[in-house]
Structure 1
């Protein structure tokens, strides 16, 4: 009787997870189609369809393939990358408020990117394919500092200290970024302002190609480690008792989380709260098993950033609202809600 009851519950959970991920996937497809029709130059659904099959005008082909499609794909990729990074960080720290932006990874990656860009007369002159690698370096330095300062030999990693130290480290990197911005030319300063607002400034296929290797290598690795994340999420003593090599697994998973977040920051700017909101939404919808949490988190993150970018391009045409601001309108209230709930 008990076995059949457990089996029935498991089947319901599996069906629910499949339904949720199917809805999120369909939502991404719908947002994708709407986003292709959104912009200063109006393309009707028929125009988009004709252009996709090679029957559009030269202008329609340029607008769709050279501007909108790269931006849409980048939006989905960075949403997935930031969301998965947040899910891993929350599991490793066992802190519901952990997020690549909150604990300083975004600021560290962004500072290195801006220092790199400052060496060139224009941001466009900086070689594209080095950006994610340099961002990984900066994000890794920030994560290393935060985790080392927050770790205590007897008590391990303190979730509360992690957030507080992350905010402090993030503020320090942001201060250096502002100092650098005061010594650059007006065009570079405009780039800095755009980056800090979280605008998807990288809008051509080169940036897609620069980001894609990090996503297609690191995300499957994290998915493969889903069971390990389940064990680590129980806490270091219990994970050790179950035979997990805790320190080694934490280091590798942290490196993957930093790589995902940093590479996304390199092509999108400082978009916060995605790594906070998407994992929480996924866990509420599909439960706590990371085998289903991670795919649902990736879909939720991709959907969130794509919708935010589409809204940012549509609301104040021909001007744009940076994607980071739209995401913050959603994420900041949710962050405050979680803070009060956690404190209580």
Structure 2
């Protein structure tokens, strides 16, 4: 009888060998995957760098590139192609490497310390603060060396981060951080735009730079700031174990001797330092700090070794390099070498970041219904409503009178009465003929934006929503800027129609995407912010492509301005208000019900889908009319409805008229201040409303803490 020996079974690759602990095999497998991932990333960086260097107005072959590299370490002058490569292409490549690395690592650190995957130098207003600091210095004619410029950017970014983290920490929910950062970003960018407009000669070229461009003149800034970025990156890597422990919770970290407060402070300072280096070299390149850690975390789901912070931070840095270099390569491939010199790389990364923000919005969890809508709204009597209505109306009349009398030319009431009777002189007639339509435009546009904001907040059941945050204002801006830049002599009606089309498209996109998640609070706002970022990137692209040397025209319009308005141009806003306000009054019951919850309207015979469509169409129409008349004005649709609810309660039959009066009052006052404080120069009205609205929004977040 023969005995057949059993066949030996070979363990498949990756399975634990006989006698080997399963944990050791898992660690070995993770190490192997991490090494393969690192090798693939290194190859991708090398390939992108090679393609990046080869792109340009002049074709360069491999021997020319090698000869140029060799000349860096020799005394030979080299050819003209060598000089172009050394003075232009290599600095641009080096800037891409440093900026991508800095922003990727910065975003990873900020997300870790805030425990928020939506945190980044953009959403925490770090880039906006750094950019504002640099623009403020340039506006006063100061030229700083690399280290001082970087220090200025660092101070501005750190101050902005401190404000956002302080406000957002007041309450629970990841969306607060994004909202606070978006509000502060809008305010800081408005201040920057004001300086760009008022000090146009001193800030020439800073608009395109403000969108993030890798174009460099020599290696001075890159060479001097690269060691700073490396030291900050090394510091974050050394802090990795503490960040791992911090992820377990503050109590758990304190038990093992890790101070959460000190760890967060050090990490934030290092992250802001990296962002400041990036802004100093290339301006605020948008959303790299959001995209790179998100991509790394996605890969880390399959390669767990990347999720430990000592690997996560450098992996995010490498991913940031891939994002920046990839965007720059794509930019020059799409627009050509010549045109791409005028188009900032940050525009491409902003498009990409907007898409990532929408994806993250879908993956986020809704924080539940916030108390913001009722934080200041109490039951108010009819008498309180009437008193409020009278007081606000009197205040608006006083503001209108002041707006007519004040400006670069001061007038008296007698001058106005003479003008109304046709008895004024030429000078007074000229002043009032140009000033009164401006006041009318501010009044009507403010009312329209406030009513639109009240409707959007009620329909979305989101007290943080408003036309600007939800991308509707940005969509209208894109529509109008397309015509302004492509057809400079286009009529006002053509511009208004294009603004309406853009607003409708943006609203359909935002609410269509958010409807898949039931218009949840977090999802709606985050998608709106993403779409708004995308629309701003489109506007910047149009400006730099069509009129790069005279961007002030479109920039003023994007900042909101009543300059040069005539009565025919404000007539559409008036007609829109005349048509929509009675409709809203007739639908006041539906507006109240739709703002309660998803089930109550159906039980009472209201069709939610059809009602939402009608109400949102009204909001889009009001927004488009206002944007076509005065340009992009933010925060009016947020501030006025909230103040109205605080004064008269939650019933929309009372909220809408008071909000309209408050919106008109806010914009009229802002316009008066803008054309009075530095007369004869003027500050666009949208900048003033942003400066007023951002602190109010931050205070609202602070007061509504859980």
TM-score by length of 1: 0.91
Match of 1:7 in 2: none
**Which residue of the partner structure matches residue 334 of structure 1?**
696
Contact 2:573 2:622 in 1 (8 A): no
Q: Which residue of 2 aligns with 1:170?
A: 532
Question: Which residue number in structure 1 is paired with residue 451 of structure 2?
Answer: 84
Deviation at 1:38, TM superposition (A): 1.1
Q: 1:90-113: CA deviations, max 9, x gaps?
A: 001111110100110010010011
The alignment partner of 2:381 has SS state of helix
Q: CA deviation at 1:252?
A: 0.5
Q: Does 1:262 align with 2:624?
A: yes
Which stretch of the first structure deviates more once superposed, 211-220 or 55-64? 211-220
Q: Distance in 1 between matches of 2:700 and 2:380?
A: 28
Maintained 8 Å contact 2:503/2:620 = yes
Task: Give deviations 1:277-319, integer Å, cap 9, x for gaps.
Answer: 0000011101111111111111111111101111111111111
1:1-344 equivalent positions in 2, closer than 5 A: 13-64=381-432, 66-120=433-487, 122=488, 125-152=489-516, 156-185=518-547, 189-342=551-704, 344=706
2 CA distance for matches of 1:179 and 1:213? 33
Deviates more, 1:205-214 or 1:93-102: 205-214
Q: Please tell me whether the aligned partners of residues 89 and 99 of structure 1 are also in contact (alpha carbons under 8 angstroms).
A: yes
Q: CA deviation at 1:266?
A: 1.1
1:97 touches 1:338 (CA, 8 Å); kept in 2? no
The offset of 1:202, in angstroms, is 4.8
CA change 1:336–1:321 in 2 (3 A) is same
Q: Tell me, what secondary structure is at the counterpart of 1:99?
A: coil
Shift of 1:215: 2.1
**By how many angstroms is 1:37 displaced?**
0.8
Q: Compared with structure 1, are the counterparts of its residues 164 and 341 closer, same or farther at alpha carbon in structure 2 (3 Å cutoff)?
A: farther
After TM superposition, give the deviation of residue 149 of structure 1 in Å. Answer: 1.4
Deviation of 1:182 (Å)? 0.6
Structure 1: state its 5+ residue gaps: 1-10
Q: Distance in 1 between matches of 2:704 and 2:544?
A: 38
1:187: how far off? 8.1
Equivalent pair of 2:471/2:506 in contact (CA under 8 Å): yes
Pick closer, same or farther for the CA change 1:133–1:220 going to 2, 3 Å. Answer: farther
**Cα-to-partner distance string for 1:15-59 (whole Å, 9 max, x where unaligned):** 111110111111111111111111222212222222222221122
Cα distance in 1 between the residues matched to 2:510 and 2:704: 21
Secondary structure at 1:56 match in 2 = coil
1:145 & 1:333 partners in 2: Cα distance?
29
Bigger RCO of structures 1 and 2 (CA < 8 A, at least 6 apart): 1
TM-score, scaled to structure 2:
0.45
Q: Offset of 1:12 from its aligned partner? A: 7.0
Question: What does residue 8 of structure 1 align with?
Answer: none
- 1:104–1:338 Cα change, 3 Å: same
Which stretch shifts more, 40-49 or 273-282?
40-49
Q: Is the 8 A contact 2:643 2:659 kept in 1?
A: yes
* Partners of 2:390 and 2:636 in 1: CA distance: 20
1:204-259: per-residue Cα shift (whole Å, max 9, x none)? Answer: 12212233222221232222211110111111211111110111010000000011
139-148 vs 198-207, which moves further: 198-207
Report if the CA contact (8 A) 1:106-1:261 is conserved: yes
1:136-186 deviation digits (Å, cap 9, x = unpaired): 21111111111121123xx52111111111000000011011010012236
What is the alpha-carbon distance in structure 2 between the residues aligned to residue 166 and residue 232 of structure 1?
Answer: 20
Taking the aligned partners of 2:552 and 2:413, their CA distance within structure 1 comes to 34
Structure 1 distance, partners of 2:699, 2:588, is 28
Mapped to 2, the partners of 1:147 and 1:322 lie a distance apart of 30
Contact 2:485 2:554 (8 Å CA) reproduced? no
Moved more, 222-231 or 205-214: 205-214
Write the distance in 2 (CA, Å) between the matches of 1:96 and 1:71. 30
Alpha carbons 1:132, 1:264 under 8 Å: kept: no
Where structure 2 has 5 or more consecutive residues not aligned to the other structure, the ranges are 1-378
Q: CA deviation at 1:201?
A: 3.7
**Using a 3 Å threshold, how does the CA distance of structure 1 residues 207 and 186 change in structure 2: closer, same or farther?**
farther
**Structure 1 residues 188 and 206, CA, compared in 2 at 3 Å: closer, same or farther?**
farther
SS at match of 1:183: helix
In 1, the alpha carbon distance for the partners of 2:485 and 2:380 equals 54
